[in-house]
Amino acid sequence: MPYQIVNDSTLSAIVQNVAQLVSFPTPADPAGDTDPAVVQMVQSVNLAGIDLLSMHDWQELTKTHSISIQASPPGVAEQAFTLPEDFYEFLDQTQWNSTMQWPAVGPVSPQAWQELLVRQTLPTLSFYWQVRGGQLYILAPPTAAQTLTFFYQSFAWVRDQDAATTYKNRATKNGDTILLDSYLVTLLARVKWLEMKGLDSAAAMRDFQVNFENRKGNERGAPVLSMARVRRFPYISAFNAPDTGYGV
């Protein structure tokens, strides 16, 4: 079965789509165009990408990482470790001590952290952690290396057109690929551009919000919740979902 899938995920394609949505002449070279309106469209795409980054945990930007945790020198009460260069935020409750097969505890509040340091009641079973100054702090790191593993969200939402292994947080070339949902980026960039021009953006914002709510769940998937008491067929029947008296 033949398919013809249109790829609208490059910077040039998104800017051109935005231009057509607002009845502006379609620019042939958005990244190199000096027209102030086109420059604003490129900026709108980048602002839209930055905003979308904070709105949802996008599966395209979800990565896994491991850090070898070892005290240096031995016996230190706390130690800082470097997070990934493209680290934006943790996916909550994915931090594990994979060596000991225990979940890592955190983020520990500053108050609890200070209490543990002052009272010297340091943990030994797993990692206690918090983030300060862009670094990951581990309380009472072990003398023998143990591995901390976790999922995180990357802020590198653009792939460079000239180097497929180079990722960045800003689109600057026509062929740069936007890793986020390109349709949502287009809709939000339109909102941004209309606002820059002092035009009414209410309808465009509603269009974006409706599509954002619909598409953010589709890109990752979700478990199907069952109301059945037991996992056997039929899952829903007159016995567990009667016509009347439900929940009695």
Q: What is the DSSP string of 86-111?
A: TEEEE-TT--EETTTTEEPB-PPPHH
pLDDT confidence of 5, banded at 50, 70, 90? confident
Q: Which two tokens stand for residue 78?
A: 């706390």
Please tell me whether the overall predicted TM-score, pTM, comes out greater than 0.75 for this model: yes
pLDDT of residue 126: 85
With cut-offs at 50, 70 and 90, classify the pLDDT of residue 2: confident
pLDDT band at 120 (very low <50, low <70, confident <90, very high): confident
Give 4 or 155, the one with higher predicted confidence. Answer: 155
What are residue 150's DSSP bridge partners? 65
Distances (CA, A) of 79 to 66, 75, 126: 16, 10, 15
Residue identified by tokens 């680290």 is 87
Whole-Å CA distances, 158 to 44, 166, 217: 15, 9, 21
Q: Tell me: the pLDDT tens digits for 197-248?
A: 999 999 999 999 999 998 887 777 677 666 655 555 555 555 556 666 655 5
Rounded to 5 degrees, what are φ and ψ at 238?
A: -65, -15
pLDDT tens, position by position, 159-185: 999 998 999 999 999 999 999 999 999
Which residue from 40, 51, 36 is spatially nearest to 18, judged by alpha carbons?
Answer: 40
Long-range Cβ contact pairs of 195-202 (< 8 A, separation 24 or more):
196/40, 196/43, 196/44, 197/37, 197/40
| The predicted structure's pLDDT at residue 228 | 58
Q: Residue 69, by phi and psi: left (phi above 0), alpha (psi -120 to 50) or beta?
A: beta
The conformation of residue 165, written as its DSSP 8-state character, comes to: T
Q: Can you list the alpha helix ranges (DSSP code H) found in 110-241? A: 110-119, 182-196, 202-218
Which positions ≥6 away from 147 have C-beta within 8 Å? 66, 67, 68, 69, 97, 98, 99
Average pLDDT over residues 6-17: 92
Output the pLDDT for position 94: 95
Q: Evaluate whether 65 touches 149 at the Cβ level (below 8 Å).
A: yes
The dihedral formed by the CA atoms of 106, 132, 150 and 213, expressed in degrees to the nearest 10: 90
pLDDT value of position 243: 64
Q: Which two tokens stand for residue 116?
A: 């543990």
Portion of the chain with pLDDT greater than 70, in percent = 88
Average pLDDT over residues 90-116: 93
Beta bridge mates, 64: 151
- 29-81 pLDDT, tens digit per residue, is 999 999 999 999 999 999 999 999 999 999 999 999 999 999 999 889 999 99
